[in-house]
Amino acid sequence: MLRLVLNRLLLGLITVALASAVIFGAVEALPGDACVAVLQRDAVGQRLENCRRDLGLDRPALTRYASWAAGALRGDLGVSAGSGKPIATLLGERLRNTLLLAGCTLAVGIPLALLLGVLTGLRRDGALDIVLSTGGILAMTIPEFVSATVLIFVFSIGLGWVPGIVLAAPGAPIADFFPGIVLPVAVLTMVMTAHILRTVRSSVIEVMASDFVRMATLKGVPRARIVWRHALPSALLPAVNVIALTIAWLLGGVVVVEKVFNYPGLGRFMIDSITERDLPVVQALALLVASVYVAVNLAADLLTLALDPRLRTHRARG
C-alpha cells in the first residue's frame, strides 16, 4: 500500500517536472525573448544587452532552466519581466481569487450535482431525468461565453438583479467580489453540475441493476436502506475522479469566464502575461497549474484507493 502511494507520488512529480520542461522548451524555441517583448522598439544594442544580463538571459538555456527550477523549488519564482514585481506575490493574489471562485462553485455545485444525479439515476426516464439529461447536454456543450452572455442579458441587463461584471482589483478584500461573483459562479456551476450529474446518474443506474442490489431487494431490505447503505457508497465512487477533474479545470482553465466577467483570477493573468510576452510569469503559471492538475488527480486516485479496497491488491499501476 505504502509502495503504491509512493509510486503514484513519484509519477506525479515526474509529470510536473516534465510539464515545466515542456513549457520552458516551448518558450525557448520561440523567436524573441522576454527582453525583446518588454523593451519593444528599444530592444537594440546596449539596452537589450543590459536587460538580458539583468534577467540572466545571456546564459545557456540548460543553466537557466536549472537555476529557475531550483528557485521554484524554494518558492522563488523570480520577478515579472513586465512590472518587475515578484511573481510569487502577483500569483498569490490571483490564486486567492481563483480559489474563491472555485470554492463558491464547488460549494454550490457538488451537493447539487450529487443530489440530482442520484435522483435521476433512481428514477430513470422519469420527467426530471429527461429534463435534466437534455439540459445537462446543453450546459456541458454550449460555450461558456455563450451561456455567460445569455445570463448577463437576462439577470443583469433584463432583471437587474446582479452586476454583470466584477470591478474588484486583484488584491481587493474578498468582500469586494460580492455580489459580482454570483453570475460567474452560476455559469461554472452549470457546466460542472452537468458533468458530475452525468457520471453519478449512470453509475447509480448500473449499481441499482447489479446482483447485490437485486439480492437485497429479494431479501426484503427496505428500499431506502438499499439506496443509502448498499447502492450509494459504491455508486458515488466514480464521482470522485470526475470531481477531481472538475477541480483541476476550475483552478486552471476558466480563462473565458474570467475574461467575460473581468474576474481577476489566474485565467486572465495567463492571457495578459502571454500577450505581454512576460515569459517568467508564463512559466510560473504553467508550473502552478500543472502542479494543481497532478495533485488533484493524485488525491482522487488515493481517495479512490482508500474507499475501494478491491483496487489495493491488483492493478498496482494505472
Q: Does 270 bind another protein (CB under 8 A)?
A: yes
* Cα separation values, 145 from 131, 137, 255, 258, Å: 23, 16, 10, 10
Q: DSSP readout, 36-70?
A: HHHHGGG-SHHHHHHHHHHHTTTS-HHHHHHHHHH
Q: Does 241 bind another protein (CB under 8 A)?
A: yes
Cell numbers found for residue 208: 441499482
CA–CA separation, 144 and 116 (whole Å): 22
Q: Does 96 bind another protein (CB under 8 A)?
A: no
Query: Taking the CA atoms of the chain, what radius of gyration do you get in angstroms?
Result: 24
Q: How far is the CB of 74 from another protein (least distance, A)?
A: 22
**Cβ contact 143:260 at 8 Å:** no
Q: Which stretch binds another protein (CB under 8 A): 76-84, 101-109, 148-156, 177-185?
A: 148-156
Nearer to another protein, 37 or 172 (CB): 37
Q: How far apart are the first and last CA of the chain?
A: 14
Q: How far is the CB of 104 from another protein (least distance, A)?
A: 20
**Cβ contact 270:103 at 8 Å:** no
Q: Does 18 bind another protein (CB under 8 A)?
A: yes
Q: Does 27 bind another protein (CB under 8 A)?
A: yes
Q: Does 145 bind another protein (CB under 8 A)?
A: yes
Q: Which stretch binds another protein (CB under 8 A): 68-76, 167-175, 182-190, 255-263?
A: 255-263
CA–CA separation, 287 and 291 (whole Å): 6
Q: Is 160 exposed, middle or buried (0-12, 13-18, 19+ CB in 10 A)?
A: exposed
Q: Does 304 bind another protein (CB under 8 A)?
A: no
Q: How far is the CB of 185 from another protein (least distance, A)?
A: 19
Q: How far is the CB of 270 from another protein (least distance, A)?
A: 6
Q: Which stretch binds another protein (CB under 8 A): 25-33, 57-65, 223-231, 303-311?
A: 25-33
Q: What are phi and psi of 146, to 5 degrees?
A: -75, -50
Q: Which stretch binds another protein (CB under 8 A): 58-66, 173-181, 214-222, 241-249?
A: 241-249
Residue type, 91: L
Judged by the rule CB under 8 A, the positions of this chain that interact with another protein are 11, 14-16, 18-19, 21-23, 26-27, 30-32, 137-138, 140-146, 149-150, 152-153, 157, 199, 202, 238, 241-242, 245, 249, 252-253, 255-256, 259-260, 267, 270-271, 274-275, 277, 282, 285-286, 289-290, 293-294
